């Protein structure tokens, strides 16, 4: 009898426990709409620097709807090079249901993604809706075609290397006018000192403020060693750095020094990353090479340069202007650029 009583009590307690568990599972839930349809006011853009402050386009998308328990939902516009599957993106968090970047802002984004100045390219854009890490949805993808322009600004670096003349000093360029300027300058032995001027005058000049800073009351900046040096100036923070830079030269039977020595080309601080030289050549051959070594060199033909290819022919003697632009790619923005090719011109004057 006692056993039956205990079993009955146990059954009652088990039933109560199961009922309690069932009550605990009753939850308030949220229902969040997926990312809606993304539309663009235009998919082929004519970017002109004169319109820098005007809207480049307008992207429109619906706001997410939440029913039930209210939770925050983050909507983000993702931009990536077309066809890359959004592996590397630039993201804009959407606080409204439209996004209208200025021509300058959109141009800067295109350059940051890797499109080339003056070359038509495409980017993909989509809307990412994320109420939670495990509940991300994406909109349709829109492909936008545009040609980035050179939105450059310059400062100047007069110094001992060129006679302290601001009017003829080498420049440092900011491709997107973001206040950060870079340029490569060739400093001869014993001519290392220079300053930075916003204009080609001595009205305002920046020198060494100590600890990598710039100051209008500081002494001369110093390149430290001879040769090509990459100068970087941040006018937002008034700081500067300097580092070694690659040289490019020509060498061969068509050049004044033959195959025995290089003739250096001058880096042109115009934002295109190219080198230039005007020189008398004779009928013969030559090649481009980096840092006076055969480790990296370009040959073949002017119209189709190939890494480590054969010599480039010069058919007739004369005075020529040669330009050379190494081409770098950066598959991952945090990795250093990789040399993948080059272009060149050979024009008889």
Check whether 7 has a pLDDT greater than 60. Answer: no
pLDDT averaged over every residue in the chain: 86
**What is the percent of the chain where pLDDT is above 90?**
60
Check whether 2 has a pLDDT greater than 50. Answer: no
Q: What is the pLDDT of residue 256?
A: 96
Q: What is the pLDDT of residue 70?
A: 61
Whether residue 55 contacts residue 46, with contact meaning beta carbons closer than 8 Å, is answered with: no
The 10 Å CB-count burial string (b at 16+, else e) for 239-258 is ebebeebebbbbbbebbeee
Q: Three-state DSSP class for 106? A: helix
pTM: 0.59
197 contact partners, CB below 8 Å, separation of at least 6 = 155, 156, 157, 158, 166, 169, 203, 204, 205, 206
Mean pLDDT, residues 66-79 taken together: 77
Encode pLDDT of 293-311 as tens digits. 999 999 999 988 999 999 9
For 201, list phi and psi in degrees, rounded to 5: -145, 170
First to last CA, the chain: 120
Whether residue 268 contacts residue 312, with contact meaning beta carbons closer than 8 Å, is answered with: no
| CA count, 13 A, side-chain hemisphere, 237 | 11
Domain segments of the chain as ranges = 30-146, 153-244, 248-348
| CA count, 13 A, side-chain hemisphere, 229 | 25
Q: Which tops the pLDDT comparison, 189 or 33?
A: 189
Q: What is the pLDDT of residue 288?
A: 97
Q: How far is CA 28 from the centre of its chain?
A: 47
The CATH number that domain 153-244 falls under is: 2.60.40.3620
The model's confidence at residue 330, banded by pLDDT at 50, 70 and 90, is low
Q: What is the pLDDT of residue 23?
A: 47
Which of 67-76, 133-142, 172-181, 243-252 shows the highest mean pLDDT? 243-252
CA 199, 203, 204, 205 torsion: positive or negative?
positive
The model's confidence at residue 233, banded by pLDDT at 50, 70 and 90, is very high
Check whether 334 has a pLDDT greater than 60. Answer: no
Residue carrying structure tokens 């959109």: 106
From 176, 177, 172, select the one nearest 109 (Cα to Cα).
176
How large is the C-alpha radius of gyration of the chain?
31
Encode pLDDT of 237-282 as tens digits. 999 999 999 999 999 999 999 999 999 999 988 777 889 999 999 9
Mean pLDDT, residues 186-212 taken together: 96
Q: What is the pLDDT of residue 159?
A: 98
Check whether 164 has a pLDDT greater than 90. Answer: yes
The CATH number that domain 30-146 falls under is: 2.60.40.10
From 225, 227, 173, select the one nearest 196 (Cα to Cα).
173
From 208, 349, 333, 222, select the one nearest 281 (Cα to Cα).
349
Two domains, one topology: 30-146 and 153-244: yes
Check whether 108 has a pLDDT greater than 90. Answer: no
The CATH number that domain 248-348 falls under is: 2.60.40.3620
């Amino acid at each position: 009898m006692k056993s039956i009583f205990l079993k009955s009590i146990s059954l009652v307690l088990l039933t109560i426990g199961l009922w309690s568990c069932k009550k605990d599972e009753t939850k308030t839930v949220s229902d969040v709409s997926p990312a809606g349809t993304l539309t663009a006011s235009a998919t082929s853009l004519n970017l002109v620097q004169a319109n820098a402050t005007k809207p480049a386009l307008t992207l429109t998308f619906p706001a997410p709807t939440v029913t039930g328990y209210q939770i925050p939902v983050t909507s983000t516009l993702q931009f990536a090079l077309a066809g890359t599957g959004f592996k590397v993106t630039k993201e804009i968090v959407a606080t409204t249901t439209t996004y209208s970047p200025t021509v300058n802002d959109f141009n800067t984004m295109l350059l940051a993604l890797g499109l080339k100045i003056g070359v038509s390219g495409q980017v993909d854009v989509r809307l990412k809706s994320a109420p939670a890490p495990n509940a991300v949805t994406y909109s349709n993808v829109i492909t936008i075609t545009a040609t980035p322009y050179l939105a450059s600004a310059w400062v100047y670096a007069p110094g001992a290397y060129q006679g302290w003349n601001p009017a003829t000093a080498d420049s440092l360029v900011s491709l997107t006018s973001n206040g950060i300027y870079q340029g490569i300058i060739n400093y001869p032995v014993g001519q290392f000192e220079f300053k930075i001027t916003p204009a080609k005058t001595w009205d305002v000049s920046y020198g060494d403020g100590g600890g990598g800073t710039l100051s209008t009351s500081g002494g001369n900046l110093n390149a430290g060693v001879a040769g090509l040096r990459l100068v970087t100036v941040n006018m937002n923070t008034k700081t500067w750095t300097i580092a070694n830079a690659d040289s490019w030269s020509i060498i061969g039977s068509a050049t004044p020094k033959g195959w025995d020595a290089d003739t250096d080309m001058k880096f042109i601080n115009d934002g295109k990353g190219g080198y230039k030289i005007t020189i008398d050549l004779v009928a013969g051959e030559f090649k481009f090479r980096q840092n006076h070594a055969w480790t990296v060199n370009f040959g073949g033909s002017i119209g189709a340069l190939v890494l480590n290819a054969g010599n480039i022919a010069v058919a007739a003697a004369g005075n020529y202007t040669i330009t050379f632009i190494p081409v770098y790619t950066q598959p991952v923005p945090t990795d250093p650029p990789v040399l993948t090719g080059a272009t060149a011109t050979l024009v008889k004057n």
